[in-house]
Amino acid sequence: MSGGGTGGHIYPAIAIANELKARFPQARFLFVGAQDRMEMQKVPKAGYEIEGLWISGIQRRLTFKNLSFPFKLIYSLSRSRKILKDFQPDVVIGTGGFASAPLLRVASSKGIPCLIQEQNSFAGIANKWLAKKAKTICVAYAGMEKFFPKEKIVFTGNPVRQDIIEVSSKRAAGLKHFQLDENKQTLLVLGGSLGARTINQLIEHSLPFFETCEVQVLWQTGAYYYQTYKKHNQTPGVQVVDFLYTMDLAYAAADVVISRAGALSVSELCLVGKPVIFIPSPNVAEDHQKKNALAIASENGAILIEEKDLDIHFESEFRTLINSVEKRQQLAQNIQKFGKPKATAAIADEVEKLLKN
């Protein structure tokens, strides 16, 4: 299993591994990631072994950081050969991110069957590079033949953690776990595993507004920003965390969610069926987060507010949503139409086909 850099690449890999482990209890799993990124902590916590490569992504703009990329790539290709020789895998699965590129490139050159799982509506650099050699490419959006060979594409949806598929029965447990008031509505704020500066600034600025709305806040700042905002744990009705290890309980406790529109977040929110305000990151390839969110918002399944419009629209949109039970129920019902609860199983089915062949 290889993929990483952000939670959007790591957690799909873990979800696929968990499904395969349930089917093949005696199977051995090895993850390969970037040695200085978050997967080196998250994967062992999920119960899997991981090897790190000295690799980083190539920047889309001109920067001195790109000068070291060729050396890192050469080293990582060599290290991947050693890992594959020692581990002798029957199949290799890549979930995107720069860490997956060297391993899958070497694996495919050795004739080891490779499966790629692309989460986004706009394919990443690594997956586009690997597509020609991969046996199967699992996708979550229509129209991906503009990036990948059509005959290799299988529409599965994105893999998600099984514990979030049914959260409605966990509300009391979620409120208790996060020490939240059951008599208040709860806003869950998600900025991605690393954090989102604009969302964090918005939430800090809006804390007095949330108080007037009688809303308590469960605020995931991301690893990069926790030290800046942890002081607000002293504010009544505010819980600040760097990372959420019990996402099922966080979703269960939430009445409204504010979130980026990365592929994994969108896929999870479609399954849990919560009213959500998407604030897509403008700093991504081909503005794909906006496209992810727009696909749902255009069908009245979510509210979409671009960063440039937050000052104008955020408070009015939020107040309308929090004061209207009917609006919240409508969004919650509509977003669930986009959910793919069997995506992980469908991807595991494709892996089984590769193993049998």
The answer to the question of residue 261 being in a domain is yes
- Does the annotation flag 120 for ligand binding? yes
Residues 12 and 144 in one domain: yes
Residues 244 and 285 in one domain: yes
Residues 145 and 216 in one domain: no
The answer to the question of residue 287 being in a domain is yes
The answer to the question of residue 1 being in a domain is no
Structurally, the chain folds into a number of domains equal to: 2
**Strands, sheet with 136-139, edge to edge from the N-terminal-most edge strand:** 92-94, 114-118, 136-139, 153-155
Phi, psi of 112 (to 5 degrees): -80, 125
Residues 254 and 214 in one domain: yes
Residues 323 and 345 in one domain: no
- Does the annotation flag 295 for ligand binding? no
Residue 195 per-residue DSSP state: -
* Mean pLDDT by groups of 10 residues along the chain of 357 residues: 84 95 97 86 93 69 59 78 96 90 94 95 86 95 92 95 87 96 97 86 98 97 94 96 94 98 92 97 86 93 97 97 98 95 96 94
Residues 110 and 185 in one domain: no
> How much is the pLDDT for 74?
77
- Note down the domain range covering 144: 7-158+341-356
Cβ–Cβ < 8 Å for 293, 280: yes
- Does the annotation flag 183 for ligand binding? no
- Does the annotation flag 121 for ligand binding? no
Q: What is the CATH number of the domain that holds 333?
A: 3.40.50.2000
The answer to the question of residue 122 being in a domain is yes
- Does the annotation flag 175 for ligand binding? no
- Does the annotation flag 124 for ligand binding? no
Helix residue ranges, H only, 24-68: 39-45
Residues 57 and 79 in one domain: yes
Residue 48 per-residue DSSP state: -
Whose CA is closest to 193, among 24, 43, 350? 43
- Does the annotation flag 266 for ligand binding? yes
> How much is the pLDDT for 286?
75
Residues 42 and 114 in one domain: yes
Cβ–Cβ < 8 Å for 303, 278: yes
- Does the annotation flag 289 for ligand binding? yes
Compute how many other C-beta atoms are within 10 angstroms of the C-beta atom of residue 181. 12
- Does the annotation flag 267 for ligand binding? yes
- Does the annotation flag 211 for ligand binding? no
The answer to the question of residue 2 being in a domain is no
* 38-to-110, 170, 206, 264, 284 alpha-carbon distances in Å: 29, 28, 30, 16, 19
Cβ–Cβ < 8 Å for 196, 50: no
- Does the annotation flag 80 for ligand binding? no
- Does the annotation flag 221 for ligand binding? no
Whose CA is closest to 4, among 89, 84, 91, 101? 101
Q: Which residues pair with 302 in a beta bridge?
A: none
- Does the annotation flag 88 for ligand binding? no
Residues 110 and 255 in one domain: no
Residues 188 and 331 in one domain: yes
**CB within 8 Å of 319: residues ≥ 6 apart:** 213
The answer to the question of residue 327 being in a domain is yes
The pTM (predicted TM-score) of the whole model is 0.83
Identify the burial level of 308 via C-beta atoms within 10 angstroms of its C-beta, where 0-12 means exposed, 13-18 middle and 19 or more buried: exposed
Residues 149 and 296 in one domain: no
Residues 31 and 115 in one domain: yes
The answer to the question of residue 127 being in a domain is yes
